[in-house]
Amino acid sequence: MKNILKSGSIIVAVMLLGTLGFAAPKSQHISKSFTVAGKVLEINEKDRTLLVTDRQTEQLYLIKVPEGATFKITFGKNMLMSQPRFDNVTTGERVEIRCKRSVQDHLARLKDGRQVTVLTAAQ
């Protein structure tokens, strides 16, 4: 009888310790990309860049859009297109663009003094 109680208590202890492993917080890993969702303020066709203001943080992003990069127009005249191209974006539209995360954010200043974060759209 004592052997059954000892083995039962050992099994319960192992089960409790096992559940603690699942409840332990996981280290936060930084994903390689993130989504910028906001309104297009300016378009530079020569450099293929979009100046986008983020909806939630009001931060400015200067996004380089290489050939073949995909994004989504969430509100605007071309929002029903399944895969819009860079030429289909107009000023004032809302877009969602998946961007690559760099090791450090590259900051720049516009001519009017505003600070922007420079990103590259993921393909």
pTM: 0.69
Name the residue ranges covered by the structural domains of the chain: 33-120
- Contact residues for 9 (Cβ-Cβ < 8 A; gap 6+): none
Burial class (CB in 10 A: 0-12, 13-18, 19+), 61: buried
Residue 109 forms beta bridges with which residues? Answer: 115
CA-based torsion, 84, 85, 86, 88: positive or negative: negative
What is the per-residue pLDDT across 48-78, written as a single tens digit (0 to 9) for each?
999 999 988 888 999 999 998 889 999 988 8
What is the per-residue pLDDT across 10-61, written as a single tens digit (0 to 9) for each?
666 666 555 555 544 544 455 678 899 999 999 999 999 999 999 888 889 9
Q: Which 3 state secondary structure label does DSSP give 19?
A: helix
Do residues 117 and 59 make contact, with C-beta atoms less than 8 angstroms apart?
Answer: yes
Q: Which CATH number fits domain 33-120: 2.40.50.110, 3.40.50.300, 2.30.29.30, 2.60.40.10?
A: 2.40.50.110
User: Phi and psi of 90, rounded to 5°?
Assistant: -125, 160
Q: Which 3 state secondary structure label does DSSP give 94?
A: strand
